[in-house]
């Protein structure tokens, strides 16, 4: 068995984080996808953009903290939707 590789002492490994990637699709357009630290895709663009720049702009808009966000979800009881709720999310940059 080969021992695991070790990093030189002056190199600090990057923490595993979510990753937002822009990639070319098979139709010649561009898309974005958000992956979890374990590599699972947790969100994607759902549509193709004609240019790389437009895909980047769309991906960046996900993290524009100046725009309001509304979270909408269903309340389900015994497998039936009984109502839809909405919350206004207030995003902060101070980690709270």
Block means of pLDDT (10 residues each) for the chain, length 96 residues? 59 70 93 89 93 92 73 87 86 58
Domain boundaries of the chain, sorted by first residue:
19-89
CATH class for the region spanning 19-89: alpha beta
Predicted confidence (pLDDT) per residue in 63-85, tens digit: 776 677 787 888 889 989 999 98
Q: Beta-carbon neighbour count of residue 30 at 10 Å? A: 21
Nearest of 41, 2, 1, 8 to residue 23 by alpha carbon: 41
If you compute the radius of gyration of the chain from its CA atoms, what whole number of angstroms results? 19
């Amino acid at each position: 068995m080969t021992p695991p590789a070790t990093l030189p002492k002056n190199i600090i490994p990057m923490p595993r984080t979510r990753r937002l990637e822009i990639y070319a699709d098979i139709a010649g357009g561009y898309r974005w996808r958000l992956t979890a630290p374990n590599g699972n895709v947790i969100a994607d663009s759902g549509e193709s953009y004609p240019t790389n720049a437009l895909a980047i702009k769309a991906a960046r808009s996900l993290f524009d903290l100046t725009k309001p966000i509304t979270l909408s979800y269903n309340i389900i009881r015994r497998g039936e939707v009984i109502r839809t709720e909405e919350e206004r999310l207030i995003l902060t940059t101070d980690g709270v």
